[in-house]
Amino acid sequence: MPPTTTEAPTAADSDGDGLDDVDEPGVGTDPANPDTDGDGLLDGQEVDDTGTDPLDPDTDNDGIVDGVEVVDTGTDPLNPDTDGDGLRDGEETEIQTDPLDDDTDADGFGDSEEVDNLGSDPLDPNDPGVETQTTTTTTTTLALDPDLDGDQLTASQEDEFGTDPTDPDTDDDGCGDGDEVARGTDPLDPDTDGDGFSDCEEVNELVSDPLDPDDPGVDTDGDGLPDKTEDDIGTDPDDPDTDDDGLGDKQELDRGTDPLDPSDPGIDSDDDNFADAEEIAFGTDPFDPDTDDDRLLDGDEVDAGLNPLDPDTDNDGISDGDEVDAGTNPIDDDSDGDDLTDGDEETLGTDPADADTDDDGFGDGEEVNQLGTDPLDPNDPGGASTREALFTTREALFTPQQPQPDTDDSGGGFPWWILLAIPAVAILIVAAKRPQECQHCEKQVTEQDGILVDNDGNPECPDNPDGTGHETTPRGQQPATDNASSGRAGEI
């Protein structure tokens, strides 16, 4: 973990994390802890510079904490797969491939392709070798073993661990299933070590060991502060509100007020669990218990990490109050991790708290964004469908298709019999145009405008005993001969 170097504390910023104490409740960070999520980055640095979540040590859930990505590996803490090769950055550091290079061994095969499809060594440029063909084995980038809820566990892994493949946080402790598996906590038990503090509370707030039942210890008064912490700060471990000012000891610590001073934070004119002095500093209305009109008290919003000045903190199109009523997460625009915002799901009619509304094995986002199928119909794309069948392989995409003759006898397609008839028609045309002989003068004649003429264009026949025009012998008959000619031929 990279070292965390704070700025000099000031009256406005007591922990030197770059965020003023009055601003930290709105963000949800601890004004007494410069690195609330313990990822090696100051809270102010995460909010103002890196854009990472100061309440989540691994914002992109790639298996590498934000501080390590920024300081050591150079990977993008907001992108779980910095080089876009299909392997998460954390996976690449585990198998020693370069998370900044999609083809670590430069053999022409991407790291993910070698690991997931070819079974070859992504660190060996001679494996699988230049003769290997990938067109018949590589499908599109959609995994055949999908992560339906975006918790960094595939469907088969969720089945192995017993987690819900459509719920990114099966035990609802605030930490994703994939994070818990990577950390070693039980994704089916919100309090793995049974010490009374949830796993995520220990990791993100108390910075204690969620696997050690003696860390941080018991909390006798149930105010969220371990007894030993209360002993250290001077509050009463048997009284959840030591100074009896209406705000719990932990609540005051989280807001930066004094849990030992009943006048701090002072009067709360509108009874919204947010003192007037705090409201003035934050910008909310000290005389309106719900400044942003989202049906949640200003103080309750601050305690929950919501923005009491914004009715839709996560900008998903659904107000914070409506999300609380519906059971979705008002600080996560995609509560079920299915790649559709909660607002989009409300419009579509899908369940924003269920990654696979119709339980057909295809996530709502997958159906809408990739398959074009109905996320409300369990029969679309069909129970027998597989991702291999729904997505074309590279071989099919790049193999030229040869035209095939139409063998359909139903009358559709090109009438191939015409090609067979063309020669016969041509023969008939030639025969019709062939010159003929006049049966009287035996000159070659042709027909022009319905009249027989000889080669000189003369329509008259001097040897026609019955008229002046040429006449031909009808087809199929022998030319006529007179008796004298016949007799002379016989004599000869």
In whole angstroms, give the CA distance from residue 341 to residue 317: 8
Q: What phi and psi, each to the nearest 5 degrees, are found at residue 271?
A: 55, 45
Half-sphere exposure of 336 (CA within 13 A, CB side): 27
pTM above 0.85, yes or no: no
Structure tokens that stand for 492 in this block: 């000869």
* CA distance to 31, 119, 311, per residue, from 35 (Å): 9, 41, 27
Cα distance between the two ends of the chain = 130
Q: Is 483 helix (H, G, I), strand (E, B) or coil?
A: helix
Contact 122, 99 (CB under 8 A): no
Using 50 as the pLDDT threshold, list the residues of the chain that sit under it: 133-143, 384, 388-389, 391-413, 430, 476, 478-492
pLDDT number for residue 470 = 79
* Confidence at residue 416, expressed as pLDDT on a 0 to 100 scale: 54
Residue 360: strand, helix, or coil: coil
**Whole-angstrom distance, CA of residue 25 vs CA of residue 203:** 18
The structure tokens listed for 73 are 């590996």
pLDDT recorded at residue 435: 60
Exposed, middle or buried by CB within 10 Å (0-12, 13-18, 19+), for 471?
Answer: middle
In three-state secondary structure terms, 248 is coil
pLDDT for the residue numbered 418: 57
Contacts of 352 (CB under 8 A, 6+ apart): 318, 326, 328, 334, 335, 336, 340, 342, 345, 346
pLDDT of residue 321: 94
**Residue 399, pLDDT score:** 42
Chain Cα centroid distance, residue 207: 33
pLDDT of residue 397: 38
